[in-house]
Amino acid sequence: MNPFDLSHRVALVTGGNGGIGLGMARGLAQAGAAVVVAGRNSQKNETAVAELQTLGAKAASVIVNVTEQASCEAMIAFAVEHFGRLDILINNAGTNIRKQPMDYALAEWHEVLETNLTSAFVCSQAAYPAMTKAGGGKIINIGSMMSIFGASFAVPYAASKGGIVQMTKALATAWAKDNIQVNAVLPGWIDTDLTKKAREQVEGLHDKVVQRTPAGRWGVTDDFAGIAVFLASPASDFVTGTAIPVDGGYSVQG
């Protein structure tokens, strides 16, 4: 048996139409999973599906706004109806609003918390019946270096990503009896649309990241294929409640 084989498994990746989510979706597709990518932008969704299909995978997309519970529930229902089951959920959709703490409107705090944290709970809750029906499942939540560190310009983001780690531990303890493993991945600084904006907004960020990262580079989305396959496959059946940095050593640099 290949412990990394995902044949006959169905995966759903929120924000799977670009960036880190698409990097993970590519890994799952190459390991044999059928993949549903979910995002707000239909054009990005379609392009991602076409790419996954060229890798030989079954793939489909669904429009979702993860800040709306009904939309999350419809997304899960789509995956189950389209491919017949759901085994793997990656809660990856995320956003950031960078400001000093005194400048946030309450609505901005809620936007970041709801997109990054509440949505992961809502989607996990919605996926639970399908996973128990399938005899188990894998939930992968995306944290951040700000699950560990603070940053003056990202208070709601850091709160949401700290929350992701604790929610992961709590869900892992609750659902181990159902053979559902719940883990978090903490990306370092990765070259995506999200961080293109950060590099425009935070002076000197690009060079600071290169200097501090022992690997000496920014991460790329393909760095997330392997961790996604590991945490989605039987290889990790006794791994649950963890938060694994994928950061080129950023978080262990003294």
Binding site for ligand NDP (CB under 6 A): 14-15, 17-21, 39-41, 44, 64-67, 92-95, 115-116, 142, 144, 187, 189-190, 192-195
Dihedral of the alpha carbons of 90, 31, 240, 67, in degrees to the nearest 10: 0
Cβ partners under 8 Å of residue 88, min gap 6: 6, 9, 10, 11, 12, 28, 33, 137, 138, 139, 140, 232
Question: Which is closer to ligand NDP, CB of 134 or CB of 147?
Answer: 147
- DSSP, collapsed to helix, strand or coil, labels residue 14 as strand
Nearest residue (CB) to ligand NDP, 32 versus 162? 162
Asked if residues 22 and 48 have their Cβ atoms less than 8 Å apart, the reply is yes
Nearer to ligand NDP, 39 or 156 (CB): 39
How far apart, in Å, do the first and last CA atoms of the chain sit? 41
Let me know if 157 is a catalytic residue.
yes
Tokens of 91: 């809660």
Tokens standing for residue 202: 């935070």
User: Min. distance of Cβ 118 from ligand NDP in angstroms?
Assistant: 11
* Cβ-contact 119, 72 below 8 angstroms: yes
Which listed residue (104, 128, 157, 250) is catalytic? 157
Instruction: Output the smallest distance, CB 185 to ligand NDP, in A.
Output: 8
Minimum distance from residue 161 beta carbon to ligand NDP (Å): 7
CA gyration radius, the chain: 17
**Minimum distance, C-beta of residue 93 to ligand NDP, in the bound complex (Å):** 4
**Catalytically active residues, by annotation:** 157
